[in-house]
Structure 1
């Protein structure tokens, strides 16, 4: 009698790979793709009201923007990153580049965080994970992983920054944005 264990195991592995890949590493996006949106992709047409009441329509900004995802307000790395963007905010304004912070926490948390750290740019409360899944950002325990996207004035992605150093990332993105 022939041993069917190896072919059966291979068949099961092939059938399970797409499920495991999505569950363990790649976020399935509404457009049917998986993983982070790539350079050259159009950013999703998302709308939100920021913590400060500003309504943002991502496809209608008309200027370059940094959309940075961070896990949580008032945590060491996230505070460091937000304050790094804040500290060179006037340079972003002078370059005509908008900064948008996104996390899965609610507006009450963002308001407190922005007031405590004098954050001058909009923070999006992505409580339904629409922004994270739209950009293909991984969620761990309900929190977005740290990743940033640089968009041109037409909301086309020109750079993706996964796994950034929160202390120097804001300067790195500004330097790239200045070349747009």
Structure 2
């Protein structure tokens, strides 16, 4: 269950560059509550929304984040993946692909809606948000087709913050 602690934009509002990141709480792949408020203001954040565990593009995207994870760590960033899959699915997905970062379960899509992530027809969108140490969104990237490009975009944005 999502706990929304910050503000709630209208259904059509999408978080964009310059906005303060909304704070929320969701369950991670281990069933523990992850509260974004514990991380905002302490380090850069890479928050990426993706449609579904174990699908082709989503798996390529997650594995690309995994393969670049050390680079994200060197840049001080915390990587967080969010989809509507349940905790058990995330746990299996993370184990199957040795994903070293946090996956959050948003079964009611409340956080997805809070961020205003658009849908493509009936498929949940794929959008990545880069958040600086002050909690401000400094870069967004929206692409359904190229999950791996989310990683390059994220790393470029993080390097510009250095």
Q: TM-score range by the shorter chain?
A: 0.7 to 0.9
Partner of 2:19: 41
Distance in 1 of aligned mates of 2:11 and 2:21: 13
More strand per residue: 2
Partner of 2:150: 169
Distance in 1 of aligned mates of 2:141 and 2:106: 19
Contact 1:44–1:59 under 8 Å retained in 2: no
1:138 matches 2:110: no
Unpaired segments of 5 or more residues in structure 2? 1-6
Distance in 2 of aligned mates of 1:92 and 1:78: 19
Distance in 1 of aligned mates of 2:122 and 2:32: 25
- Aligned positions, number: 152
Partner of 1:22: none
Unpaired segments of 5 or more residues in structure 1? 1-28
1:75 matches 2:55: yes
Q: What RMSD over aligned residues (CA atoms) do the two structures have, in Å?
A: 1.9
Distance in 2 of aligned mates of 1:70 and 1:40: 22
The alpha carbon displacement at 1:53 in A equals 4.5
Structure number with bigger Rg? 1
Distance verdict in 2 for CA 1:33–1:168, change over 3 Å: closer
Give 1:158's match in structure 2, choosing from 133, 138, 143.
138
More helix per residue: 1
Partner of 1:114: 94
Distance in 2 of aligned mates of 1:101 and 1:115: 14
Distance in 2 of aligned mates of 1:112 and 1:139: 25
The alpha carbon displacement at 1:113 in A equals 0.5
- TM-score by length of structure 2 reads 0.85
Give 1:52's match in structure 2, choosing from 27, 30, 40.
30
